[in-house]
């Protein structure tokens, strides 16, 4: 399975947080799954950190790539097809980062690993 991590899922994985469901933890750890973090999530983390809404142990420019590499998570760039696919999505979710994750999942055939009930209303595969 090809998994796309929601931003909160990534943060919970790297923190080994209790909010991470047992199933999500198992899917993330399964060696047969490819796991991706979108550049949109890196951008969201950087913005929230800059606004003081997301404390991190290090600057996002070091924290995100170091944690991604430490946990074997691949980077997924923001591509034109995914950005334009956001226009085809219903306005269930107003968060532009989540909308882009949904579009990337659809365009690239990924399953979003997310606890967000709004994301599950889109025509993208999701699991928690």
Question: pLDDT by residue (tens digit) across 6-44?
Answer: 999 999 999 999 999 999 999 999 999 999 999 999 999
pLDDT value at residue 79: 98
48 confidence band (pLDDT: 50, 70, 90): very high
Give Cβ neighbours of residue 3 (< 8 Å, ≥ 6 apart): 27, 28, 33, 34, 35, 36, 110, 111, 112, 113, 127
Q: Give the whole-number percent of the chain exceeding pLDDT 70.
A: 100
DSSP per-residue codes, the chain: -EEEE-HHHHHHHHHT-TTS-HHHHHHHH-TT-EEEEEHHHHHHHHHHHHTTSS--SS-HHHHHHHHHHHTTPEEE---HHHHHHGGGS-TT---HHHHHHHHHHHHHT-EEE---TTGGGSSS-EE-
Question: pLDDT by residue (tens digit) across 71-118?
Answer: 999 999 999 999 999 999 998 988 999 999 999 999 999 999 999 999
Domains and CATH numbers, the chain: 2-127 (3.40.50.1010)
Closest CA to 4 of 117, 121, 104: 104
pLDDT value at residue 94: 85
Question: pLDDT by residue (tens digit) across 56-82?
Answer: 999 999 999 999 999 999 999 999 999
pLDDT value at residue 3: 98
pLDDT value at residue 93: 81
pLDDT value at residue 17: 97
Copy the structure tokens of residue 66. 């170091």
127 confidence band (pLDDT: 50, 70, 90): very high
């Amino acid at each position: 399975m090809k998994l796309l991590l929601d931003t909160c899922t990534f943060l919970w994985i790297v923190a080994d947080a209790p909010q991470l469901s047992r199933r999500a933890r198992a899917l993330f750890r399964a060696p047969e799954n490819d796991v991706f973090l979108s550049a949109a999530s890196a951008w969201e983390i950087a913005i929230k950190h800059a606004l003081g809404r997301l404390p991190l142990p290090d600057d996002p420019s070091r924290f995100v790539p170091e944690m991604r590499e430490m946990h074997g998570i691949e980077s997924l760039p923001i591509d034109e097809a995914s950005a334009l696919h956001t226009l085809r999505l219903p306005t269930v979710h107003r968060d532009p980062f989540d909308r882009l994750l949904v579009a990337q999942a659809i365009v690239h055939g990924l399953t979003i690993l997310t606890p967000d009930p709004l994301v599950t209303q889109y025509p993208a595969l999701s699991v928690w």
